[in-house]
Every structure is written in structure tokens, then in C-alpha cells.
Amino acid sequence: MSWRKTSNTRQGTSTLYGAADYNTLMDLLNGVDTGQQVTINNNWAFTKAGQPTGITVTPGANSITTAMLQDSAVTGVKIAAGTIDNTDISATAAIAKSKLAALAIVDADVASGAAIAKAKLAPLNIADADVSATAAIAKSKLAALNIANADVAAAAAIAYSKLNLASSVAPADLNAALGQPYQVPQINAAGNAVQYADSVMMPSSGRLYGARMGFASTTTTNGLGILQAVAQGSNATAVGQITAVDGNHVVHNSGTSNNKGRAGWWGIGGTERKFNPIFTVRYKLGQAFTSANGILYIGLQNQASQPAAGTGVLDTYLDGASKIGVLFGYRSVDTHRMIISNNAQTLATYTDLGVAPDGNIHTVSIQITDSPAQINWWFDGVAQTSITNTTNNVPPSTTQLYPILILEAQTATGQVITEHWSQISMDWI
């Protein structure tokens, strides 16, 4: 604002400023306290402080420049809402992420070359439809798959080499037209020859065999195949013979009880239940035999060697937590044939067959199957009741079992058992 005057001469009144005393106004402007107030045109009033009151200033359009604004004078409330756009923000603004509201980023917001690190992405719930038909995902990138039968196509034609069938194929899995999965030897109805239970099927080439028999006057200590490795009974003799009645056979003589003589043999080669072994012996006891003067054990058991010379096998041979197996025969206290079985129990199970021993030729067969786990046996070709108690009687699948044919004297008279032949077979892996 400027004041206009015509000269430096003090004047009494001024028509330019209305009736205001010009001289008093000048005094005020020069800092002279006149104690008076000057009013101009009834609007402007001045006192010594020099501050006009009642003034309304309306600046012209676009007349206020940046320089006219005091630093930090303009606040957010002075800026109209919705008036700041992208061009108002500096390219180097570097606005902190914490100052931004949550962004709803969509696919179009991400550059095709963004190469966002996997660590920056939340877990993806990928569904089948998300995977390309030609994805060819490596098996190593997949978690373990619990493939069920229904997942395999009927025409999958999976190669046999890809299947793990070890110890899992049971007799029931085989076609009935193929016959028995393993052969059972038995005596024919006339009692003068050996035949197999299935007359059509020959012995499987997938089984191992062992056999023993006498040859004329040759002294026999070992057999063939699995029965090649045997130990003769302690203090016993074995002589091969041939007669019109018995044909080729081996005569085992125990010797007397004072040296605990044992006729027969103890198998050194073992088998296991999982191989489905069958052990068959055709034998004849000496005419002098009674259960009171001898102990007879024929079967499969888990002791790899017989008691030492001079130590008897005892009536309680198969009793005890360390004893496993199945035996046919007689103890010195028995008057009938017995079948004895144990699976590591304190006392074995003794089943009385109700028939006394005699001096005739007989054939006994013992079979232990892995599936089902049970003991089957035959006497002179006649099937007897199977033993199925896996807790107390049936040997475990992988316990080593050794075949034995032992007749031990219990008196001063030597005991004789004639071995016409012995045979064992088991599955071959």
C-alpha cells in the first residue's frame, strides 16, 4: 500500500483520505505517539502500533507465487481431496511401502519379465487342472504316492520285474488247473510203492530235494542233495543191505543204553517254514522195540546238532523256550505213537495217536506250510489232523529247522531201525 502526498509540508486535512487529520496520520506513521486514532474513509483505523484493522485483502487470480508461501505453511487439510494425481508425484519420491494402503495387485499388474522369486510367493494350491497335459513332471519332484489297485488300469501291462512278490504268493493264488503248488509223497494203496498226491503233476523243478537209501552191502553215512550233510547217531552203526523183503535199505543199530547209543542220523543242512518243507521217512522198527526200551524221534526241529555222545535226547527233548519243531515218534513213557510240537513254549504239545508201535514198514510225512502257517502230516498216506496254533506249535517263518531220524536205546539191548528211504524237499528261491 502506498500513501500519496503532494509535499512534505504538514497539512491539516486531506481530501484524499477523507476527513482524517493528515498531520496526525503522519505522526503515527513516523512513530510519534499522539494518543489519537486516525480513521480513513470510515474503514481504515490506525493507532501507534501501525496495524490497520478491518482490512479485507482479496488477491488477484494466480497472483500468489511459491515464494509468497512460508515453508511448511501448507498442510494436508489445505489441499482439496482427490486433486493429486500421478504427475504430481516425483519420479524419485521413494515413498515408503508403510505409507501405502494395501494393494490389490492383479495378474495384469505384474510384468511378464518380473521373475518373482518363489520365496516371495505364498504356497500354491495347485489342482489337477493347473498342470499341463505335457508337463512331464519328474517322479523325483512328486511326494510318495499311495497308489491303490483302482489307480492301475486294467490294461496297464506292468512288467513282472516291477512287482515285489517275495514270500507273498499263496497256494490260493494259483490256478486250480495247475494242481498242487508242491507235491506230497505218499504210499500207494497196496503199500508197496511211493506215489505223489497229485498223479498228474510231477515234482516242481522249483524245489530242492534230498534223499537217503541203502545200496546192497555198502555202508551209508550220507545221502544225496539236501540229505547229503548228516551226522550219524552217536555210537551207532549203519550198514546198507538188500533183501527180498525190504529191498535196498540201511540198518541202523543204536548200541546199548550205557553209552546212550543213537541209531539213525541228524541233519546238518537246514530249511525254514517259508520254504514249505516236506520231510518223509519210510522205516521199520526192530522186532524187539517197545516204547519202554527206546525213544524214537522223526521230524524237523531247530537244534543244529545232536546231544554229545553219552548224553541222551530225553523224553523232554522238545520242551523248553529254546525248542521249536514238530516230531513223530515215542518217548520211553509212551505206549502209543505221538505227534509232538512246540514253538518256544515251556512244555511241548503231545498228541496221542492211539496206536501202539509195531515192527511193520511205515511211512510218515511232515509238511510245514508258510501260508497258511500250519503243520500237515500223513501216516501211511492217510492225512492226519493239521496243527494250526501258531502261538504254541507252528514254527516261525524264518526259524532254521533240521531233519532228524533218531532211535535211542533206553536199555542194555541195542535198538534197530531200518531206513528204507528218506526224502526232504523245499521251495527253491
d(CA 208, CA 212): 14
Q: Give the pLDDT band of residue 40 (cuts 50, 70, 90).
A: low
- Quote the pLDDT of residue 410: 84
Asked if 394 and 373 touch (Cβ cutoff 8 Å), the reply is: yes
Number of H helices, E strands in the chain: 1, 20
- How large is the average pLDDT for residues 398-410? 92
In a domain, 84, yes or no: no
Residues 208 and 227: beta-carbon distance below 8 Å: no
Specify if 60 maps to a domain: no
Q: Which residues pair with 326 in a beta bridge?
A: 300, 341
Give the pLDDT score at 135.
Answer: 87
Residue at grid coordinates 509468497: 68
3-state secondary structure of 226: helix
Whether the CA torsion 262, 267, 268, 273 is positive or negative: it is negative
Asked whether residue 76 is assigned to any structural domain, the reply reads no
Lowest mean pLDDT among 34-38, 317-321, 406-410: 34-38
pLDDT tens column, 48-67: 554 555 556 677 788 888 88
Domain span at residue 38?
7-54
Give 149's contacts (C-beta < 8 A, 6+ positions apart).
none
Determine, yes or no, domain membership for 154.
no
- 299, three cell numbers: 521230524
Would you say 170 and 390 are in contact if contact means Cβ atoms under 8 Å apart?
no
Contact between residue 339 and residue 328 where contact means Cβ atoms under 8 Å apart? yes
* Residue 410 identity: Q
Q: For residue 347, what pLDDT is reported? A: 97
pLDDT tens, position by position, 92-126 = 988 888 888 887 888 888 888 888 888 888 887 88
Is there a single domain that holds both residue 48 and residue 189? no
Structure confidence at residue 2 as a pLDDT band (50, 70, 90): very low
* Type of residue numbered 128: D
| pTM (2 d.p.) | 0.54
324: in domain: yes
Cell numbers for 82, please give them: 482427490
- Band the pLDDT of 372: cuts 50, 70, 90: very high
Q: Which of 52-66, 233-247, 274-288 has the highest mean pLDDT?
A: 274-288
Provide the 3-class DSSP secondary structure of residue 46: strand
The total number of structural domains that make up the chain: 2
Domain at 227, CATH number: 2.60.120.200
**Strand 247-253 relative to strand 416-427, pairing:** antiparallel
Q: Give me 134's grid cell.
A: 505335457
Q: Residue 365 falls within a domain, yes or no?
A: yes
> What is the rounded CA–CA span in Å between residue 114 and residue 110?
7
Arithmetic mean of pLDDT, 408-425: 86
Residue 394's closest CA among 326, 308, 304? 326
Side chain identity at residue 426, one-letter code: M
Can you give the pLDDT at residue 48? 52
Domain-embedded: residue 238: yes
Whether 121 maps to a domain, the answer reads no
